Structure 1
């Protein structure tokens, strides 16, 4: 999906990849922002009924990290995960007749009591993180926001501004909400429910219709460990029915565990990237631990050299460099910083009573460099 048009981002459809309809992902947004230019002001046109909570948070973080002014315009609807995306804008504009919906995240899970307990914990953690994002925008206490989320509130443009979820209303008439089965939500306004009925926006109905899509538009399933490159003829002519609920439950359970891993490692923003890549929980744990070590190395370096930017850890993690490479780059920065200090103080005579310190050796020791 090409989301960058004329230097502006158009986020229409589901948040994240969807089995039922076309969507947009956090990686697509990151690439689009990079193409626009880090310091360039950008407008984001949003019309989405929701989708993957982790993808929504990933896009929110990408918008927040953009150095230019980000104006988010809600063209039709910003529901669920899409409402989180709006919070990443420097300015949030609601078109007249548009809607915003805020609620608690949900999932489908099937398994043991222990698996269910892990899922409940992960959902509450994700919900608390979402509440913090809304609270930062509105100025309301996170506890009050959680009450709004549990109630599932649907806001008109004027109400969104009054509640500080948005900044202004554009009198341009809103577009029709994008295709989404809005009946899955608890308190969907009747006009939007009627629109779903009239347009036939049903997850199950769309899933059944998918094989009849025009050639070239089919959504190809991802390869899994059970997928063979050359299916047997019987499987081609008489494919076994796909248990969509089971597949969704498995993906959601894995996503919840990956989110829990990243949160425990102190790198929650990594969750959406790892889930998008489809990594195993074991690989997610390895990469999250690596990111944690990178943060620790940068923080330790900054104790003696405050000139090193705190944001450097995020840059290292996004670049995917190894811990050894991080230590090497930090070492170079620390040496450069020390040399600059030495130039400024060269005229001060050293005292015979003060023991000389091998600064280079000391920096290597702090960074764990043995060579």
Structure 2
């Protein structure tokens, strides 16, 4: 019996989305200072899935930070991503029970809205949005294969409906299905009325924190007002304040850290190393622009060395440790020697497996030519005899 090739189901726009803005995932466990109680705060800022925050990473980090008693606040600002990762995060939040609150800082779209609805309580910023729509995938095969894919999409559609109804059990089923089919963008007030939010909090500057703004235009029903805000944000010139006096230490603010995180994400997306955003943020601690720029330059060199050594999986570890190319080269050499791989690290392409061994040609001489002719003549006469 023919098997259908495995495929991924996305709950997001139908084209590959390049990360152009902030993609930042972290977990904080902060005590209140006066007692032993603490609040675990998780930021899901970026795509959900392979190219961003995977459910496996999220669940492992949550398990490491969670003490089983502290309140957990999950802040969302995401365009969505892999639906199954979104469902897994949804279920992880649901298992926390009443301790868990989802805070939608700007946008919980697509698989992000599915994940957020796993929380016991949802607080939306007054100008935040929740977006719901159908699952989507890529598939190939014959008619039987594609019918099976359609059946799976129908099943995942029902999983999406179940996730929303778990949060808002009183929502009208037919109306919910219509909104999902139509790709519906819900304001905080609309989400509250439907039961998909429990409270409206203070507003934030949406264009400063939405992230991945270029993706918004790829959805079918993105509100024009939201697109206008993003366009205005991208058009704003980057104005630097006058530098502080020599005797004045530079002030580090939360806004500075966000700007530096954004710088890292944009530079990594351009260089094709978006998987190194988190290690770079960790290694630089977002100290200042000079530190970040130097780390970005090192990261590109480290990536090239690891690829040349056929060990690309070690890049993130070296970048997180803040190692320079010299130290990386030494560690790669030790790794290869200990593994018994006796080849040198360089940037050249590896030889093809079926490459023909070169043959050294010899220059013919008159003596060798006449000898060959005499041998051929003797053989010819011998056959004729």
Q: Under TM normalisation by the shorter chain, which class is it?
A: 0.5 to 0.7
Does 2:71 match 1:48? no
TM-score w.r.t. the length of structure 1 is 0.53
Aligned equivalent of 2:123, options 80, 93, 97: 93
Could you list the runs of 5+ residues in structure 1 that have no partner in the other structure? 221-227, 238-371
Which residue, out of 89, 105, 110, partners 2:140? 110
- Residue 193 of structure 2 is aligned with which of 162, 169, 180? 162
CA distance in 2, matches of 1:154, 1:136: 19
Q: Which residue of 2 aligns with 1:178?
A: 211
Does the Cα contact within 8 Å between 1:76 and 1:178 map onto a contact in 2?
A: no
Q: Quote the offset at 1:72 in angstroms.
A: 0.6
Go from structure 1 to structure 2 and tell me whether the alpha carbon gap of 1:16 and 1:217 turns closer, same or farther (over 3 Å shift). Answer: farther
Distance 1:216 1:115 in 2: 46
> Which is greater in Rg?
2
* Residue of structure 1 in register with 2:162 after alignment: 132
Match of 2:178 among 144, 147, 150: 147
Greater shift in the superposed pair: 87-96 or 138-147: 138-147
Residue 81 of structure 1 pairs with residue 111 of structure 2: yes
Residue 90 of structure 2: aligned partner: 60
Aligned partners of 2:101 and 2:133: how far apart in 1? 23
Give the superposed CA RMSD: 3.4
2:92 aligns to what SS in structure 1?
A: helix
State the shift of 1:137 in Å: 1.6
**Structure 2 counterparts to residues 26-41 of structure 1, below 5 A:** 26-34=55-63, 35-41=65-71
Alpha-carbon distance change, 234 to 115 in structure 1, aligned in 2, over 3 angstroms: farther
Query: Which residue pairs with 1:14 in the alignment?
Result: 47
Secondary structure of 1:14's partner? coil
Distance change (3 Å), C-alpha of 1:211 and 1:92: closer
Helix, strand or coil at the partner of 2:137: coil
CA drift of 1:185 comes to 1.2
Counterpart in the other structure of 1:339: none
C-alpha change, 1:206 and 1:195, in structure 2 (3 Å) is farther
Structure 2 residue runs without a partner (length 5+):
1-23, 31-39, 236-265, 275-295, 304-309, 312-342, 352-385
Q: Across the two proteins, how many residue pairs are aligned to each other?
A: 225
For CA contacts below 8 A with separation 6 or more, give which structure has more relative contact order: 2
The within-5 A match list for 1:205-216 is 209-211=270-272, 214-215=296-297
Partner of 1:190: 224
